[in-house]
Amino acid sequence: MSVKLMQGNEAIALGAIAAGCRFYAGYPITPSSEVAEVMARELPKVGGKFIQMEDEIASMAAIIGARVGGLKSMTATSGPGFSLMQENLGYAVMAEIPCVVVNVQRLGPSTGQPTAASQGDVMQARWGTHGDHPIIALSPISVSQAFDLTVKAFNLSEKYRTPVILLTDEIIGHMREPIELPDFTTVEKYEHVVTEPPETYKPYSNRTDVPPMAAFGRGYRYHITGLFHDEVGFPTQRLDEVEPWLERVNSKLERNPDDILLYQADYQPGARVAILSYGATARTARHAVKQMRARGEKVNLFTAYTLWPFPEKAVEALADSVERIIVPEMNLGQLALEVERVAGRRKVTRVNRANGEMVTPDMILAAMER
């Protein structure tokens, strides 16, 4: 292993390849394009395939199609493209097709500021596609973690047959930091194994949280649809077939919190205030906390790496430990809504910046005085 200086976007691309991603479809958009450029260069070297599609709708469709054909797949985009992907992101949820969608957040709404940082798509990642649905969103705080969480995103996506959103931001995506890359052959990869013979295989069996997925062209000829479907995959409107599906799919993530919910809780006995943050802003929060602790002030620090599903229990515990939670974000208050929801009567102080610039340590320190 050797140290390299690398952008977050490059680390994401390499993390994908390490995780076994062998198909990438995308459409150029700042500040995510480096992911596509690295994938275009690296994928053919490992026998993988890259295609630049006509738009983000098609990109999202193509990665689902490729995964149906048996290749682990990914796309990367930013706000405007992420909006276009919502349609087929919902399809991947409904048809339970694993795939990874990287959103390098930039300032919105609309075209906004392409080169400016933001965390404005947190709620879109949760609810961007229509209808009630489960979703996983992970948010790295460093270049090195961008690699690790991309690997994690692939494995969770496969294990739970769900799209996983790697919700990063322009700061992490474009920042260069030292990273030590592991030997890719040693990286853990989740693979589906179908043991049922084709005659009895049920791609959407409700007898288990996540039925194994068979790829097309391997003897399992089944139907995949975005309509509500029965256990075999055929469209249905029968309540006795729809309801077990709803129950299984909407609780498959909740039932596996230890696997999915990633966070770091750094408690100091006697602290009365906690800071909860994620993504690039978590770096600022750490900076502020170190300054406070150096002055002898006690403060708890909570860093969320999994944003969705929201780590409710851990945040409840955090709320129990202090009187107040400060939530800095590069938006007008999005994850703060979730913190407020689970924090009970604890005071939640929002620290917001939505002009393309990072929250500063001083802004967090000032919130301590509020």
Residues that bind another protein (CB under 8 A): 3-5, 23, 25, 30, 44-49, 51, 53-55, 57-59, 61-71, 73, 87-88, 91, 114-115, 171, 174-178, 216-219, 221-227, 232, 234-235, 280, 283-284, 286-287, 290-291, 294, 358, 360-362
Closest C-alpha to 356, from 157, 66, 109: 109
User: Pairing mode, if any, of strands 99-107 and 113-117?
Assistant: antiparallel
Q: What is the DSSP letter of 22?
A: -
**Is the CB of 112 or the CB of 257 nearer to another protein?**
112
**Is the CB of 281 or the CB of 334 nearer to another protein?**
281
Minimum distance from residue 73 beta carbon to another protein (Å): 7
DSSP string, 169-212: EHHHHH-EEEEEPPPGGGS--------S-TTT--TT-TTSSS--
**Is the CB of 109 or the CB of 178 nearer to another protein?**
178
**Is the CB of 240 or the CB of 258 nearer to another protein?**
240
Burial of 207 (0-12, 13-18, 19+ CB in 10 A): exposed
Minimum distance from residue 268 beta carbon to another protein (Å): 16
User: Pairing mode, if any, of strands 347-352 and 324-329?
Assistant: parallel
User: Pairing mode, if any, of strands 136-138 and 163-169?
Assistant: parallel
Structure tokens at 100: 């990874």
Closest C-alpha to 327, from 294, 298, 355, 302: 302
**Is the CB of 24 or the CB of 310 nearer to another protein?**
24
Minimum distance from residue 291 beta carbon to another protein (Å): 7
**Is the CB of 218 or the CB of 341 nearer to another protein?**
218
Minimum distance from residue 260 beta carbon to another protein (Å): 26
**Is the CB of 239 or the CB of 294 nearer to another protein?**
294
Minimum distance from residue 286 beta carbon to another protein (Å): 4
Contacts of residues 339-344 at CB distance under 8 Å and 24 or more positions apart, as own/partner, are 339/276, 339/315, 342/310, 342/312, 342/315, 342/316, 343/315, 343/316, 343/319, 344/316, 344/319
Closest C-alpha to 98, from 23, 29, 149: 23
Minimum distance from residue 316 beta carbon to another protein (Å): 26
Minimum distance from residue 217 beta carbon to another protein (Å): 5
